[in-house]
Amino acid sequence: SDVFTYDPGFTSTASCDSTITFIDGDKGELWYRGYPIEQLAGQSNYLEVCYLLLYGELPTAEQMQDFESRVTRHTMVHEQMHNFFRGFRRDAHPMATMVGVVGAMSAFYHDSTDISDPWQREVASIRLIAKLPTIAAMAYKYSIGQPFVYPSNELDYASNFLNMCFSVPAEKYNVDPALARAMDRIFTLHADHEQNASTSTVRLAGSSGANPFACIAAGIACLWGPAHGGANQACLEMLRQIGSVENIPEYIARAKDKDDPFRLMGFGHRVYKNFDPRAKVMKESADEVLDLLGIHDNPTLQVAKELEKIALEDDYFVSKKLYPNVDFYSGIILEAMGFPTSMFTPIFALSRTVGWIAQWKEMIGDPQNKIGRPRQLYVGSDKRDYVELSKR
């Protein structure tokens, strides 16, 4: 009979080889195509990082200009999609709307769903990167009952997203360049993370030959969970619930209690066992943004800082190598920018879309690619005979 390796949670199984992203969990290193995340977050910008992830090299000035114009040409969504949004409950969570709308893109853009055609694959990739901010902003506007704001191609990627989220027809809204820069950095820090749960979901969905819009919708659905991308919303809600510094010990005790399902959200990582390099950059960014906005006595930030300090010195967290992850500080920046918690995970989703696509493209182009089909260890009932209803 067949012999399988039993590896629940895939803690020691490599599912593919990849040239895109490298993580060294012990050293706290993350590289996209060989470039350290700190350098990309500090010196590059999100669209350039998109190019790097998709095509493997940093673009020349000409390649960058061409890429930018291809992306901006696709930022609008089909007008008919507005009707699709309007079918959702008015207070729907933006992630719920996004799972549906992105899945439905294969119905609206079926001229780029033939994955055997490299040109269609390319168009689908650009459409996804260009339209995800528009879709996320529309999901937000819909959830708060404001009119949709069309994309503006004279703005850069991050400024355009902020404009679509925060401007209203009645009033002129000027995007603060420093906030746009912080937004762009958040996008960059989330752009890819090798074979995490949502990326593996995208690859598994794609391994059957499903179209890229369907695959990305699957990735968004997986990302939503609180152990993954949903942790940024859960973390800020937890910080608010803790409320003040005096209550921290109670929550620390709960996180350590085996009989209590409560975990410190924004803490711990499957791969990083020393620190999460994204969290380090995010923390600096949080300080910058709060300074910029003149927010100095934010109680959530105080709780976050103190919680981090206590946890980093606590035996339980030290021995289990639990450190703040990317989701710990991102929420503080997003809240300061004016986003409600329900938008945190959609922002993660739109940032990660490029990583999902790069990974999907790599898989499709790999001659070794075959359908993902894990095996199992069957531990159910032995073979038995059916019993008539009247005899049970």
Question: Annotated catalytic sites, by residue?
Answer: 269, 327
337 binds ligand CMC (CB under 6 A): no
189 binds ligand CMC (CB under 6 A): no
For the chain, how far is it from start to end, CA to CA, in angstroms? 34
266 binds ligand CMC (CB under 6 A): yes
Smallest distance, ligand CMC to C-beta of residue 345, A: 9
Task: Count interface residues toward ligand CMC (CB under 6 A).
Answer: 20
* Maximum CA extent, the chain: 77
Cα–Cα distances (Å) from 81 to 86, 88, 100, 102, 311, in that order, read 9, 12, 11, 10, 46
Site string for ligand CMC, 233-262 (x = CB under 6 A): ----------------------x-------
Residue 159 or residue 325: which is nearer to ligand CMC going by CB? 325
Residue 144 or residue 227: which is nearer to ligand CMC going by CB? 227
Site string for ligand CMC, 1-30 (x = CB under 6 A): --------x---------------------
Residue 136 or residue 164: which is nearer to ligand CMC going by CB? 136
Count of CB atoms situated within 10 Å of the CB of 288: 15
- By the 10 Å C-beta count (0-12 exposed, 13-18 middle, 19+ buried), 240 is classed as middle
Rounded Cα distance between 155 and 177, Å, is 11
Q: Which of 99, 264, 333, 363 binds ligand CMC (CB under 6 A)?
A: 264
* Choices 15-23, 60-68, 318-326, 334-342; region in contact with ligand CMC by CB under 6 A: 318-326
Smallest distance, ligand CMC to C-beta of residue 144, A: 25
Structure tokens at 119: 């040109």
- CA nearest 198: which of 52, 99, 88? 99
DSSP label at residue 168: B
For 151: left if phi > 0, alpha if psi spans -120 to 50, otherwise beta; the answer is beta
Where does this chain bind ligand CMC (CB under 6 A)? Answer: 9, 196, 227-229, 231, 255, 263-270, 320, 322, 325-327
